[in-house]
C-alpha cells in the first residue's frame, strides 16, 4: 500500500474555488442586466453580446494557438471580457465593430501584456475606449425601444438646473426619464448599463458570495455621488448613480481583480479615486460620461497604490 | 460579544466529528518499536544502548549533552534489535534504536515521583522536564525545558496552554481536555510555580464547547489565577504567534521569541506530560494520536507507545476503505505527507490522516489573477503572491525585504488561492534560499 502515496508540500487541502468558478459566478451575476438590456433596448442587444463574446473567446484561442501556449479559454475570463465589452456598447452598433473591439481587448490589452492576470488596464474598458475613438457616432447612437435620442447624462451636460435638463429633453423631443424608469432600466444607454435594478442585484449577489468585497463598489458609488453634489450637478445624486455606467463600472469593472489593488486599504483608495474622477469628467470634461476613463486612469495607478498600502507585517515595528 | 482573535486566516471544513466523540483507546503494539534519535528540534540524540542490550520501559535509550535537545526513552521492555538507519515520518533515513517488544512492559524510571505535589526549586522542575524527554507535543517538538528557561531578564507574564487544535480532523488535544483536565491544569500549575508572577490561560477554540466546560468545571474551586479563554474557530488560531496575539494583544517582533513579549505557550499534551513527569515520575514514552481521514474505516483516538509503526495504528482502525492518495503526519494544513506507512510515530505526531484523492485535489497551477485572497488570509500580514514571484525569480534579497522570512508556513494562502498556486511551498523555497545565501555570506566573511 506504500507505492501509491503522494508526497507533496503542505497544505494538503484546498478551498473549493477556482478561477473558472469565479468567472462563471461573475458571468451569472451579469445575466439579469443583459436580459433587462434586451427587454428595454431591443433584442438586437443579444446579437451584440453574442458577437462580442464570440470574438473575445476566438481571439484568446487563436492567440494561444499561434503563440503555442496552453489553451485557457475554459477559464471563462475571455468570455467575461466579451460580455463586459458588449454591455458597454449601444444596442444598434454594427455587429462587426464589437468583433474588432473584442480582438483588440484580448490580444492587445490582455495577451500583449502576458495574458490572464498580467494586463495593466481592464481589457473590456480599453476595448470600449478604442471603439469610442474609432467610431464615435456609432458608439453614441442610443435607442430606447427603437427610438434614438441622447442619454440622460448627455441631456444634463452643462445644464444649470434640473428644469434646464427637462427642457433640454423636450427640445430633443423626448421626456426625461423618471427616477423609477432609470432604476428599472427604461432609458437610453449601453446594453448592460440601462437597468440599475439588475446591476444592483448582480452586485449584491457577488458581494454575498464573497467574490468581490463591498469596498470598491460602495466607496466608488458614494464618492461619485458626493463629488457630483459638490461639483454642482443639475441632477440629483440618485440620477447620477443610476445613469450611465456608474453601477456596472462600480460593481463589475472597478472590481476586476487584476487591474485593481490587491490590498483592502488600496482598494478603498482606488475606489475613491474612481469616484472623484468620474464626477470630474461628468461635470467638467468633454464627455457626458466618465466611468470608463476614470477606471482606466486609476488602473494605471494601481502599482503605486499597492506599494503604498502594503499590509503591516505582524510584529513589525513600522513600514520600512 | 466577539471573541479575541487575529487578522486573516481561513475556515476549512473541520472534519472533527470523525473522532470528536471517540474515547481514547490504548494500543499495545505487537511488532518492533523504532525510536528515531531526532524527535525534536535541536541536536539529535546519540544512542545510549547497543544492539543486544535489554531495555525496560521508561529507560533512556538516547541522549545528548546539548542544551537544545531532549532524551528519547523506550516505552516497552525487550531486547535492542538494531541500532541503525531507518526511514522516519519525513521520508529521510535517520539513526534509530529498534526495540523488540517482549510484551512484559517491565518498567523502570529514573524520575522521582512527587505525588504530594510539594513545591520544588524551579530549576528542579526544569530538570525533570528535560529528563522526562518532554518536547512540544503539538507538532513542533521544541524541547520544553528550553522554553521553560527564558533569559533571566525576560519577565514571563502569561503562561498559555494551547488547546486551540485548529487543524481540521485532529482531536487528540480535545480528547485529552475532556478525559484528563486535571492533568492539564496540574501541568500548568507546575509551570506557574516556575513563573510565579504569570497568569495561566487555557486557550480553546469555541467549536469545542464540551472541552471549555470541562476545563472550567475542573478550575472552579481551585485557587490560583488560571482562566479558560475561548477563541473563535479560525485556522491558524493555534499557531503560536496568532494565539499570543489573540490572548494578549501582543505581536512578536520578527526574529523574536514568545518570551520577548512575556509569553510561554505549551500544548495541552505537553502540559499533561509535565504533570505526569513531576507528580508520578512518568517520562514521555507514549502519546495520543488521532488516526482519521476520509478513507480510514474506523477513525479513532489512540494512545500508543512512541515508536509504534503507522501501519499498526491504521490496522487498529480497520485499515483503509479505499487506497489513500496521501497519508499525513499531522493535520491537512501543515502536516507532512509520508512516503511510507512503515515508519514510527514520534513525540510530535498529533495525527495520522489518510485522505482520498477527492480531498487532496491539486489541479495544475494557473496565472495569478490578483484576487487578493492570499493577502486577506495571511495571518502574518504578508503579500504571498509577491513572495511567490520573487522566490521563483530567486531574488532572495527582495524576498527578504518583502518580509518573506516572517512566513509561518501555515498554508492559508495556498488553501485560498483560486489559481491553485503553490504559494506556501514556494515561500518555503524562498526562505531556504535566503538562509543559504546568509550562510554563504557568513562563510565568505569568516574566511
pLDDT tens figures, A51-64: 999 999 999 999 99
The pLDDT of residue A185 is above 90: no
Of the candidates B323, B371, B425, the beta carbon closest to that of A257 is on B371
* Gap between the Cα atoms of A62 and A85, Å rounded: 19
pLDDT digits (tens, 9 = 90+) for B354-385: 999 999 988 899 999 999 999 999 999 999 99
Strands B199-205 and B226-231: parallel
Q: B1-24+110-361 architecture in CATH?
A: 3-Layer(aba) Sandwich (3.40)
Domain residue spans in chain B?
1-24+110-361, 373-446
The pLDDT of residue A303 is above 80: yes
Of the candidates B335, B341, B406, the beta carbon closest to that of A10 is on B335
CA distances from A282 to A125, A182, A231 (A): 17, 18, 9
Q: What are the φ and ψ backbone dihedral angles of B224, each rounded to 5 degrees?
A: 105, 165
Any residues with CB less than 8 A from the CB of B89 and at least 6 apart, and which? B310, B329, B336, B338, B343, B344, B345, B346, B349
Give CA A51 to chain center in angstroms.
18
For cell 499495545, what's the residue?
Answer: B28
The ipTM, to two decimals, is 0.90
Q: What is the pLDDT of residue A318?
A: 56
The pLDDT of residue A18 is above 70: yes
Distance from CA of A300 to the nearest CA of B (A): 15
Confidence bin at A184 (pLDDT 50/70/90): confident
Q: Please, are residues A29 and A202 in contact by the beta-carbon 8 Å criterion?
A: yes
The pLDDT of residue A157 is above 90: no
Q: Please, are residues B341 and B311 in contact by the beta-carbon 8 Å criterion?
A: yes
Q: What are the φ and ψ backbone dihedral angles of B263, each rounded to 5 degrees?
A: -125, 150
Q: What is the pLDDT of residue B290?
A: 97
pLDDT digits (tens, 9 = 90+) for B32-48: 999 999 999 999 999 99
Sign of CA dihedral B208, B210, B213, B215: negative
When the pLDDT of each residue in chain A is averaged and rounded to a whole number, the result is 89
Q: What is the pLDDT of residue A170?
A: 76
Q: Residue B420 and residue A22: Cβ atoms within 8 Å?
A: no
For cell 487578493, what's the residue?
Answer: B372
* Gap between the Cα atoms of A31 and A98, Å rounded: 19
Distance from CA of B428 to the nearest CA of A (A): 9
Distance from CA of A23 to the nearest CA of B (A): 11
Q: What is the pLDDT of residue A320?
A: 42
Q: Which segments in chain B show pLDDT lower than 50?
A: none
- Which of A208-217, A231-240, B138-147, B349-358 has the weakest average pLDDT? A231-240
Confidence bin at A1 (pLDDT 50/70/90): very low
Any residues with CB less than 8 A from the CB of B303 and at least 6 apart, and which? B24, B25, B26, B27, B286, B287, B288, B289
Of the candidates A19, A264, A314, the beta carbon closest to that of B379 is on A314
Amino acid at each position: 500500500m506504500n507505492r501509491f502515496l503522494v508526497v507533496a508540500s503542505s497544505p494538503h487541502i484546498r478551498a473549493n474555488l477556482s478561477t473558472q468558478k469565479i468567472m462563471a459566478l461573475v458571468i451569472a451575476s451579469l445575466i439579469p442586466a443583459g436580459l433587462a438590456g434586451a427587454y428595454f433596448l431591443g433584442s438586437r442587444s443579444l446579437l451584440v453580446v453574442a458577437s462580442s463574446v464570440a470574438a473575445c473567446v476566438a481571439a484568446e484561442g487563436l492567440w494561444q494557438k499561434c503563440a503555442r501556449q496552453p489553451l485557457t479559454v475554459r477559464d471563462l475570463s475571455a468570455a467575461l471580457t466579451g460580455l463586459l465589452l458588449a454591455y458597454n456598447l449601444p444596442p444598434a452598433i454594427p455587429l462587426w465593430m464589437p468583433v474588432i473591439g473584442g480582438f483588440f481587448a484580448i490580444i492587445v490589452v490582455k495577451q500583449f501584456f502576458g495574458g490572464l492576470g498580467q494586463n495593466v488596464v481592464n481589457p473590456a474598458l480599453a476595448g470600449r475606449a478604442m471603439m469610442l475613438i474609432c467610431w464615435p457616432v456609432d458608439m453614441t447612437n442610443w435607442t430606447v425601444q427603437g427610438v434614438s435620442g441622447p442619454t440622460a447624462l448627455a441631456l444634463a451636460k452643462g445644464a444649470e438646473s434640473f428644469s434646464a435638463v427637462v427642457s433640454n429633453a423636450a427640445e430633443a423631443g423626448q421626456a426625461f426619464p423618471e427616477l423609477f424608469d432609470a432604476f428599472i432600466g427604461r432609458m437610453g444607454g449601453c446594453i448592460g448599463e440601462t437597468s440599475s435594478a439588475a446591476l444592483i442585484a448582480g452586485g449584491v449577489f457577488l458581494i454575498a458570495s464573497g467574490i468581490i468585497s463591498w469596498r470598491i463598489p460602495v466607496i466608488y458609488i458614494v464618492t461619485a455621488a458626493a463629488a457630483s453634489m459638490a461639483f454642482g450637478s443639475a441632477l440629483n445624486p440618485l440620477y447620477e448613480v443610476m445613469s450611465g455606467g456608474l453601477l456596472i463600472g462600480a460593481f463589475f469593472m472597478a472590481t476586476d481583480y487584476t487591474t485593481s489593488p490587491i490590498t483592502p486599504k488600496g482598494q478603498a483608495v482606488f475606489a475613491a479615486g474612481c469616484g472623484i474622477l468620474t464626477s470630474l469628467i461628468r461635470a467638467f470634461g468633454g464627455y457626458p460620461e466618465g466611468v470608463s476613463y476614470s477606471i482606466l486612469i486609476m488602473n494605471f495607478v494601481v502599482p503605486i497604490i499597492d506599494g503604498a498600502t502594503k499590509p503591516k507585517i505582524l510584529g513589525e515595528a513600522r513600514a520600512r | 460579544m466577539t471573541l479575541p482573535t487575529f487578522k486573516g486566516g481561513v475556515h476549512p471544513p473541520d472534519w472533527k466529528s470523525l473522532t470528536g466523540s471517540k474515547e481514547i483507546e490504548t494500543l499495545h503494539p505487537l511488532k518492533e518499536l523504532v525510536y528515531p534519535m531526532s524527535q525534536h528540534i535541536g541536536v539529535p540524540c546519540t544512542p545510549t544502548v547497543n544492539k543486544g542490550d535489554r531495555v525496560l520501559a521508561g529507560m533512556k535509550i538516547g541522549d545528548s549533552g546539548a542544551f537544545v535537545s531532549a532524551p528519547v526513552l523506550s516505552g516497552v521492555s525487550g531486547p535492542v534489535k538494531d541500532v541503525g538507519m531507518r526511514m522516519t515520518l519525513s521520508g529521510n533515513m535517520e539513526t534509530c534504536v529498534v526495540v523488540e517488544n517482549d510484551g512484559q512492559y517491565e518498567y523502570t524510571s529514573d524520575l522521582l515521583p512527587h505525588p504530594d505535589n510539594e513545591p520544588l526549586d524551579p530549576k528542579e522542575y526544569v530538570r525533570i522536564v528535560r529528563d522526562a524527554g518532554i518536547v512540544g507535543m503539538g507538532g513542533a517538538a521544541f524541547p520544553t525545558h528550553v522554553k521553560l528557561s527564558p533569559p533571566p531578564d525576560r519577565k514571563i507574564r502569561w503562561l498559555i496552554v494551547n488547546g486551540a487544535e485548529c487543524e481540521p480532523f485532529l482531536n487528540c488535544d480535545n480528547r485529552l481536555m475532556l478525559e484528563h483536565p486535571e492533568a492539564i491544569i496540574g501541568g500548568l500549575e507546575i509551570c506557574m510555580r516556575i513563573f510565579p508572577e504569570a497568569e495561566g490561560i487555557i486557550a480553546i477554540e469555541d467549536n469545542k464547547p464540551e472541552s471549555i466546560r470541562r476545563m472550567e468545571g475542573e478550575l472552579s474551586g481551585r485557587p490560583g489565577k488560571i482562566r479558560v479563554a475561548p477563541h473563535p474557530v479560525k485556522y491558524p488560531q493555534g499557531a503560536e504567534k496568532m494565539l499570543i496575539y489573540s490572548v494578549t494583544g501582543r505581536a512578536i517582533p520578527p526574529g523574536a521569541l514568545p518570551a520577548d513579549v512575556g509569553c510561554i505557550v505549551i500544548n495541552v499534551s505537553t502540559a499533561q506530560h509535565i504533570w505526569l513527569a513531576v507528580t508520578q515520575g512518568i517520562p514521555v514514552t507514549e502519546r495520543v494520536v488521532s488516526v482519521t481521514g476520509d478513507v480510514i474505516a474506523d477513525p479513532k483516538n489512540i494512545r500508543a507507545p512512541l515508536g509504534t509503526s503507522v501501519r499498526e495504528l491504521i490496522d487498529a482502525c480497520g485499515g483503509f476503505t479505499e487506497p489513500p492518495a496521501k497519508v499525513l503526519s499531522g493535520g491537512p494544513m501543515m502536516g507532512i505527507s509520508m512516503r511510507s506507512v512503515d515508519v514510527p510515530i514520534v513525540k510530535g505526531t498529533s495525527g495520522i490522516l489518510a485522505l482520498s484523492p477527492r480531498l487532496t485535489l491539486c489541479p495544475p497551477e494557473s496565472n495569478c489573477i490578483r484576487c487578493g485572497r492570499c493577502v486577506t488570509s495571511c495571518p502574518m500580514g504578508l503579500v504571498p503572491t509577491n513572495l511567490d514571484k520573487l522566490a521563483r525569480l530567486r531574488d532572495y534579497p527582495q524576498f527578504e525585504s518583502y518580509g518573506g522570512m516572517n512566513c509561518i508556513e501555515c498554508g492559508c494562502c495556498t488553501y485560498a488561492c483560486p489559481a491553485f498556486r503553490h504559494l506556501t511551498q514556494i515561500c518555503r523555497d524562498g526562505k531556504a534560499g535566503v538562509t543559504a545565501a546568509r550562510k554563504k555570506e557568513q562563510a565568505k566573511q569568516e574566511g
